Structure 1
Amino acid sequence: MSVYSMTGYASAQHGASAEGAEAPVGNRRLGLEIRSVNSRFLDLSFRLPDELRAHEPALRALLTARLKRGKVEVRAAIESEDSNALPQPSPLLLQRLVSAQDTIQAWLPDARPLSVSDALRLCSANDADRNIDWSAVLPELAAQALDELLKARAREGERLATMLHDRLQQLRTLAQTATPLIPLLVEQQRQRFVERWKEAMALAEGSVAPEAAQDRALTEATAFAIRIDVAEEVTRMDSHLDEIERLLKKGGEIGKRLDFLIQELHREANTLGSKSAALELTRISVDMKVLIEQMREQVQNIE
């Protein structure tokens, strides 16, 4: 199953002049656009002309059946086949407008007369094409646009998955680099403790037994080794990386689980940094957190 991004765009037209498009209904063309961006939940919004308002529940059901997350906006527009054409009002309709105007001005003397643009707008509103039944056209058009949206989201999801795989490999490399540093740091610290105790013994002029001084140095070195041991953090990080790879391979609705795993990765990187006793480990921790933050930003876009 594919990894889907929540970002995408698709459009479809009915009655467009392009080759292979269906003929316009009456003298009208219907265009539909679907835009999608990331969101914690599925958030649908519709911008439809008045003629299509009654179809909003059907569109909502279609989208909720195939989309799980994202802020999705659906826009529809109905245009005349000739966008420059003016309505041709019949004499009867114009007579009705004049009669209505006379009645209104009789009750409201201050009412202004109808302008040409007012008359054209009112005639256009009463155009017979306004009563076209789009119930057979709109669902098919919406399904076509939704198919294209899912394809766009799949393409973007594939790009995100490729980026995440690259960051996962870099994190594994950093974790492998950190592991062998610990024994070296422990040995260096043990040598420092022994040297300091030798200096203290010299100042004490033999009042402290050499065996006791050495035992104390080794005890301090052991405590230091326990304090800076990051094996547990590296093991948990490897486990999280394995789970992220498994989810990316599985695909589907994985965004929320990936977000949780990214938080866990960040926690382990922070712990590793807090245990850092050398510049090398500090650098590794910082590099890890940079990579994890890059992953977190991209995971926010995965469904």
Structure 2
Amino acid sequence: MIRSMTGFASAKGERAPFTWGWELRSVNGKGLDLRLRVPDWLDGLETALRADLSKVLARGNVTLSLRLTRSDFAANAVLNPGLLTAALDALARIEAEAQMRGVDLAPSRASDLLCLRGMMEAGSEAEDYSALVSQLKAELRPLIAAFLEMRRAEGKALEKLLRGQLDQVVILVGEAATLAEARKSAMADTLRANLARVLDNIDGADPDRVAQELALIAVKADVTEELDRLRAHVEAARELLDNGGAVGRKLDFLMQEFNREANTLCSKSQNSDLTRVGLDLKAVIDQMREQVQNVE
């Protein structure tokens, strides 16, 4: 089964005196772009989270956010006034710049500042957050599982849509083959008339050479190879869907090949009905390309 690059999952947790909320979301991307927003004072957490995500994801712009708040502080903890002043100044500059550019930011909260590294200084010894980090690492596993389940559900819907579009391509290729076969007799009559016209109007023309040139024109107008390649591309796409996994890049390449053959079919059609089928093919292929952009 294929997976979509679109997904979302959230979760909440607590360990006194902390409470937190997770958000894991992704949209489509050419590669894997991980953006983690976690407190920097939780040593080793970001590295572990990034490693776990990299093991199970192949593509997508992925954002993992951890919003952590603390309900109280140790009795011996004191506020770091210098860091608070710097943080407030930076926050004021950011909000002023955002307002000038017409960007609305979410309201800032005191708890966001209190969770900055060094904002609260221990009066005697630093606090040990190893147990908190361990719990947060453990919570990532069910979060990822829920996230992947959504991507699989989205992928299932994508696969159904793509298979339906591939069936449309097969039908249109069949119509094109029928029209191309019916076109042969008309093309033969046209070529014979052209040959007679050339021989009647040009003295000393070599009939064999003229016939060869007209035959070459007929070969160039033949669309059999394009139709055969379209059928082969359909089978290749179906095989990729059957295999599942991270096949988005391969499907994207196949869509380019589909489009190339449809363009050639239109340019060689020399028949209004065949051109119509070629344009219908291009429309279906464009729809497939849009859907494939979201396949992992």
Q: Give the TM-score of the pair, scaled to structure 1.
A: 0.73
Decide which structure has the larger Cα Rg and report it.
Answer: 1
Instruction: Indicate conservation of the 8 Å contact 2:17/2:73, yes or no.
Output: no
SS for the counterpart of 1:246 is helix
CA distance in 1, matches of 2:32, 2:191: 60
Describe the SS at the equivalent of 2:61.
Answer: strand
Partner of 1:68, secondary structure, is coil
The 1-side partners of 2:74 and 2:209 are apart by: 105
Match of 1:27 among 11, 17, 23: 17
Q: Which residue of 1 aligns with 2:133?
A: 135
Instruction: Provide structure 1 residue ranges, at least 5 long, that are not aligned to the other structure.
Output: 15-23, 82-86, 102-116
Give the structure 1 partner of residue 28 of structure 2: 38
Q: Residue 189 of structure 2 is aligned with which of 188, 191, 197?
A: 191
Deviation at 1:51, TM superposition (A): 3.5
Q: Does structure 1 residue 228 correspond to structure 2 residue 221?
A: yes
2:262 aligned residue: 269
Aligned to 1:52: 42
* 1:176 counterpart residue number: 174
What is the identity percentage for the equivalent residue pairs of Structure 1 and Structure 2? 34
| CA distance, structure 2, for counterparts of residue 238 and residue 257 of structure 1 | 17
1:277 alignment partner, SS class: coil
Letter of the 1:262 counterpart: M
Cross-structure match for 1:125:
120
Distance 1:121 1:183, change over 3 A: closer
Match of 1:75 among 44, 55, 65: 65
The letter for the 1-side match of 2:236 is E
Quote the offset at 1:56 in angstroms.
Answer: 0.6
CA distance, structure 1, for counterparts of residue 149 and residue 235 of structure 2 = 27
Q: Which residue type is aligned with residue 237 of structure 1?
A: L
Deviation (angstroms), 1:40: 1.7
CA distance in 2, matches of 1:77, 1:178: 57
After superposition, give the CA deviation of every residue in 1:22-66 in whole Å (9 maximum; x if it has no partner).
xx3113212111111112221111111233353111111111111
Say if 1:182 and 1:228, in contact at 8 Å, map to a contact too: no
Q: Secondary structure at the match of 2:66?
A: strand
Please state whether the residue corresponding to 2:33 is helix, strand or coil.
Answer: strand
In structure 2, the partner of 1:10 is 9
- Which stretch of structure 1 is more off in the superposition, 290-299 or 146-155? 290-299
The one-letter amino acid of 1:63's match is L
**How many aligned residue pairs are there?**
259
Residue 146 of structure 2 corresponds to which residue in structure 1?
Answer: 148
CA–CA distance in structure 2, aligned partners of residues 271 and 299 of structure 1: 22
**Higher mean C-alpha displacement, 24-33 vs 219-228:** 219-228
